[in-house]
Amino acid sequence: MATRDTYRTNDGKYHFEFIFENQGAYYDAHIAWQPSYGSRNDGLHETHRLTSDYRGCSYRICFASESDVPDLAKVRKYAEAWSEATAKYIDTGIGF
């Protein structure tokens, strides 16, 4: 089962859309929509993303370990942190 959610950055400047997919012992956070990186490097390593096979999503958030996101509340918190770091990277070029 999957849950769709939207996150707006603390400064209100950007919004992101995610699909959180339960994989049993962990969740995937598929990126359904995000702002453009503009002139920033949008490589997978720099942006902490992996490719996604979820319909309509090209990428998902890369976690250090699947055990980091065992439930919906935890994956939402990680998606919020990733969104804020992404917004900072877009605005300043400072990496995660």
Q: Domain residue spans in the chain?
A: 2-92
**Can you tell me the distance from the alpha carbon of 7 to that of 61, in angstroms, rounded to the nearest whole number?**
14
Within a 10 A sphere around the Cβ of 30, how many other Cβ atoms?
Answer: 24
- Please report, as a single letter, which amino acid is at residue 92: T
Judged against a pLDDT cut of 90, whether residue 3 lies above it is answered with: yes
- Residue 96 structure tokens: 């995660």
Judged against a pLDDT cut of 90, whether residue 74 lies above it is answered with: yes
- Residue 29 structure tokens: 């956070």
CA distances from 27 to 64, 81, 88 (A): 13, 16, 25
Judged against a pLDDT cut of 90, whether residue 1 lies above it is answered with: no
Residues 59-74 have a mean pLDDT of: 96
Residue 96: predicted pLDDT: 86
The pLDDT tens digits of the residues spanning 13-56 come to 999 999 999 999 999 999 999 999 999 999 999 999 999 999 99
Q: What is the mean pLDDT of the chain?
A: 97
